[in-house]
Structure 1
Amino acid sequence: MLDKIDALAAPHGLMAMGGAHSDPDQPKQTIVLIGTAPHFWSHFTQSPEYSDGAPDAIDRWSQRILPPIMEAAGGAAVVYPFGGPPFAPFIAWAKKTGEAFDSPVGMLVHARAGLLISYRGGIVFRGHLNLPAQQPTNPCDTCMDRPCVAACPVGALSDTHFYDVPKCKSHIASSEGQDCMTQGCATRLACPVSQLFNRPMAQNAYHMKAFRGS
């Protein structure tokens, strides 16, 4: 099923980022999480949502793109990590897939995307579908240097697992923080797996601008 969804998602710059079964005390369901692939940006920037100037462009794009993928895959519904409160428990689902883990700085790290995770939604299927028996391992377990811990230039992210959001936003709004604004979060980019994921710098800058709120 993950291979099928990957094939359906790839033409849109998306990929399957793991699946998880519902808990035993809940109706039998399987959710497959969908996120951005390294080639996402070239697809998104050709979309009407990117150029129409309206807010929440990526969210609106996701709401247009994911339902047809769900229907082609035989899913029952699409859920999104935005639009709340209440918000769907994407962090819990991500950990349950066995492909995402807690990193030394507290953010989720994905086995393939590193710290550059961007979940766009999840496809819900009725029943417990077959999922890969062999799961990836936490890449942080074999990362001896852990460059993410010391990467933030103002210490907003560290191995204390406390994220000082005001300090981060103050930094990226200053002249000293323009590297983070134009290239992306230094902590996320320091991850060796993130570097292999090869996400375009323009996409990093877009997300940083949205995070700053301007």
Structure 2
Amino acid sequence: MEHPVLTAIRRAAFTPLGWFAPSADDRVPGGASFVVLIGNAGPDMFRRFLRESGADGGLDAWTREAVSGLAADLGAGAVYPFDTDPPWPFLSWARRGGAGHVSPLGLNIHAVYGLWHAYRAALLFPVAFDLPPPSPGPYPCATCVARPCLSACPVGAFDGAGYDVAACATHLARAEGWTCMERGCLARHACPVGQGFAYAPAQAGFHMRAFRAAREEE
């Protein structure tokens, strides 16, 4: 039987993506005794967002409202990857929480969801839970000889050592970037892991437009 906290997270249309009991080295605020990372994987969270905010709504503001309600119901606090500058170390927490591995793109790759998931919050609990630590599974990129994710980007924004954000954003602003804008990141699509969780066009387009708009504001 699944733990009731994980069930409540799923009922709120979020996905539990990992959990751990933090140490002082983890930089978890508030003296929390247990951390559950939550986010989106598959369409449920985005569908709820569209119902409650519409396609023109702000995802970060909606996330804060939705997660704060969930956290209050569960007796937890919450922090967000968009909260601070520099941001909270969500990728380090993912390693601690058994939520996957670092892919050649620098993104977290999950054994089930592949590259098609994102962290939206960390729930911070004052007490620890009796939950077995999740396993990240074998590193899928270790046996992927071709590594198509590194060659799929039309402007070569990924080289295995870093991400050329400017090249990506410039491409999206041009007519030839239409496929990426409408379908989503082609490097992500090239990865064979978790293809069943790839974003539908509406969700992919929403995220790409938000990314381009954020770059234009800088």
Q: For residue 36 of structure 1, what is the amino acid of its counterpart?
A: N
Q: CA deviation at 1:33?
A: 0.5
8 Å CA contact 1:13–1:38 kept in 2: the answer is no
Runs of 4+ in 1 over 6 A off after TM superposition: none
Q: CA deviation at 1:130?
A: 2.8
2:60 corresponds in structure 1 to 59
1:38 corresponds in structure 2 to 42
What is the percentage of aligned positions where both structures have the same residue? 36
Provide the TM-score with structure 2 as the length reference.
Answer: 0.84
Cα RMSD (Å): 2.3
- Deviation string 1:78-97 (CA, Å, 9 cap, x unpaired) is 11111322422212111211
Is 2:178 aligned against 1:181? Answer: no
Distance 1:211 1:2 in 2: 35
Q: For residue 58 of structure 1, what is the amino acid of its counterpart?
A: L
8 Å CA contact 2:98–2:133 kept in 1: the answer is no
1:202 corresponds in structure 2 to 202
Distance 1:73 1:206 in 2: 30
Instruction: Write out aligned runs for 1:80-99 (5 A).
Output: 80-99=80-99
Provide the TM-score with structure 1 as the length reference.
Answer: 0.86
Match of 1:29 among 20, 29, 33: 33
- Deviation string 1:167-212 (CA, Å, 9 cap, x unpaired) is 1111111111111000001111212224121322211111111111
Q: CA deviation at 1:5?
A: 3.3
Instruction: Write out aligned runs for 1:114-153 (5 A).
Output: 114-133=114-133, 135-137=135-137, 138-153=139-154
Structure 2 stretches lacking a partner, 5+ long: none
Give the length in aligned residue pairs: 208
Q: CA deviation at 1:71?
A: 2.9
Secondary structure of 1:196's match?
Answer: helix
8 Å CA contact 2:98–2:134 kept in 1: the answer is no
